Structure 1
Amino acid sequence: MTPYCNGRPATVDDLAGALTNYGHFTSLQVRGGAVQGLDLHLQRLQQGTAELFGSALDPLQVRAWMHGALRVEDVVDASLRVTVFSRQFDFRRPLQPVAVDVLVAVAPPVDLPAISRRLRTVRYQRELPHVKHVGTFALFQHRREALQAGVDDALFVGDDGHISEGTTWNIAFASGGTLVWPQARALRGTHERLLQAGWGGDQQVRPVALADLAGFDAAIACNAAGIWPIARVDGVALGNSEALCANARRVLAGTPWQPLSS
């Protein structure tokens, strides 16, 4: 993974500043120099910067830095992680607006296969769930514990008993021909929004309780790296998930790609 900070190769000082556990990011896939939902990723970065740092972020500049990093690496297909932090941030004066730094990391492209996965539910609520912040320790630990328990990943349930999201992905359920997105405090992912916009069929956004799982026959998970079927949640089998996943992948295949170059 090659990092670039504010449009130039990152130095040791840059990376040391990024180690402060305060910031936010977005992860995206680039194919042929273009991104699906690029505007959504840039909006996420702008909103996170305003909320965490009280500063404005220039989306055109960030876009140019992303494109520039790909050009230097001489690649058109890649995974990008764009992290916004600030070497000027002082936790003693957290309300002071500060200029931010943008770290663009370039890595090989990823396309997660559509392999069915089994989930277990855990009681957990991310802090500031609407922000894709760098506090990811609990997410990775819950996934690790799920694997130790013999399943593939963890699905979060709030104290109110309502399903919210997975460790690093969103989830949607289906019953008959209706797609249901859980209405709960969660990070609203770019692929979730792209699927909602392009679905075309009947869909709902409503609270989904654990007790509702038996009423569904399919589920899919999604993030910027792909879409995959959910075979089982706890003791509930979801036998039609592969067909639902195939349909979702067709929807996403019809979503336009936005070029990083201006």
Structure 2
Amino acid sequence: MAHVEINGGPASVEAVHRVATWNYGHFTSMQVRQRAVAGLALHLHRLRDGSRELFPERAAPSERTIVELVRHALGDQKDASVRVTVVPAGSDPEGVDVMVSVSEPAPDAAGAPLRVRTVTYERELPHLKHVATLGLTYHYLAARAAGFDDALFVARDGRISEGSVWNVAFWDGERVIWPDAPQLTGITMQVLRLGLKKLGIPDEQRTLTAASLPGMRAAAAANSRCPAQPIATIGETTLPDSAEFAALLREAWRAMPWDDL
């Protein structure tokens, strides 16, 4: 059962309607396990930076306030999916409202390897996790209708960037490679890179295009719901080692401690 609070109180129909109608804000999504979060500080920094960019004239909530609001919305729950959304305040022209949504925890087990297709698309303000999600949802649904599982975005200059709601990691047989292109630097991606460094596994960001794909042995999608979802094919390119690569990424994920709320 979903539970929604705004600024620590019950979310009224009027408040939720205002948020949906205004449709201007940013958010972060996280999985909570035993009241701990992977990369909690990174989530808080994302919210801070998003508020500074989208609401430069408004006072942003402190990181401590965000954590207190998440704790309050969780109540007695130890495991949950949590989304924190920051929007302009309805009653205060100099403030913001913080909406915390709590729902059932998402299983992080990988599903069957994905078949994805590439599509030329660039999100607006790609470095922000903002609420303007129509374009990415459209391309995800279009890929599904065409018989694929998801879409991998390619910028207008030909650079591979990110998936619909995930970052993509590649394996060339020697190192982990992340696309160097305008994209959202996902929290899971950041945690994985820290874990890879801890394990001594080389990784880097590199410009990748469609011409780079035949040289890759594996690929995986990474987001807050699943840190390592194998990708079987991208278009006509088969990635034979994706299951083994996903196992490697999961090892890096497990190498990093979770932060108590």
What's the TM-score, normalizing by structure 2? 0.94
2:202 match: 202
> How far apart are 1:11 and its partner, in Å?
1.2
Following superposition, which runs of at least 4 residues in structure 1 exceed 2 angstroms of deviation? Answer: 87-90
Which residue among 140, 146, 149 is the counterpart of 1:149? Answer: 146
Contact 1:131-1:187 within 8 A present in 2 as well: yes
In 1, the alpha carbon distance for the partners of 2:210 and 2:249 equals 23
**CA-to-aligned-CA distance 1:123-166 (integer Å, 9 cap, x gap):** 00000000100001111111111011111000000011000000
Contact 1:88-1:98 within 8 A present in 2 as well: no
Matches within 5 A, 1:28-177: 28-54=30-56, 55=58, 56-71=60-75, 74-88=76-90, 98-115=94-111, 116-177=113-174
Structure 1: gaps of 5 or more residues:
91-96
In 2, the alpha carbon distance for the partners of 1:67 and 1:133 equals 23
Q: Give the aligned residue type for 1:169.
A: W
Matches within 5 A, 1:233-244: 233-244=234-245
> How far apart are 1:87 and its partner, in Å?
3.3
Stretch moving more, 224-233 or 112-121: 112-121
Contact 2:194-2:256 within 8 A present in 1 as well: no
Structure 2: gaps of 5 or more residues:
none
**CA-to-aligned-CA distance 1:19-38 (integer Å, 9 cap, x gap):** 11100000000000010000
SS in 2 for 1:140: helix
Task: Give percent identity, aligned residues only.
Answer: 44
In 2, the alpha carbon distance for the partners of 1:98 and 1:43 equals 21
In 1, the alpha carbon distance for the partners of 2:109 and 2:147 equals 20
Contact 1:45-1:57 within 8 A present in 2 as well: no
Matches within 5 A, 1:240-259: 240-259=241-260
Question: Are 1:12 and 2:8 an aligned pair?
Answer: no
In 2, the alpha carbon distance for the partners of 1:126 and 1:65 equals 29
Q: Give the aligned residue type for 1:205.
A: Q
> How far apart are 1:9 and its partner, in Å?
1.2
In 1, the alpha carbon distance for the partners of 2:146 and 2:109 equals 22
Contact 1:173-1:179 within 8 A present in 2 as well: yes
Q: Give the aligned residue type for 2:33.
A: R
SS in 2 for 1:81: strand
> How far apart are 1:89 and its partner, in Å?
9.2
1:93 match: none
Q: Give the aligned residue type for 1:120.
A: R
Contact 2:26-2:85 within 8 A present in 1 as well: yes
Q: Give the aligned residue type for 1:38.
A: L
Question: Are 1:21 and 2:16 an aligned pair?
Answer: no
> How far apart are 1:59 and its partner, in Å?
0.8
In 2, the alpha carbon distance for the partners of 1:87 and 1:69 equals 19
> How far apart are 1:88 and its partner, in Å?
4.2
> Alignment length, in residue pairs?
252
Question: Are 1:218 and 2:218 an aligned pair?
Answer: yes
SS in 2 for 1:106: strand
What's the TM-score, normalizing by structure 1? 0.93
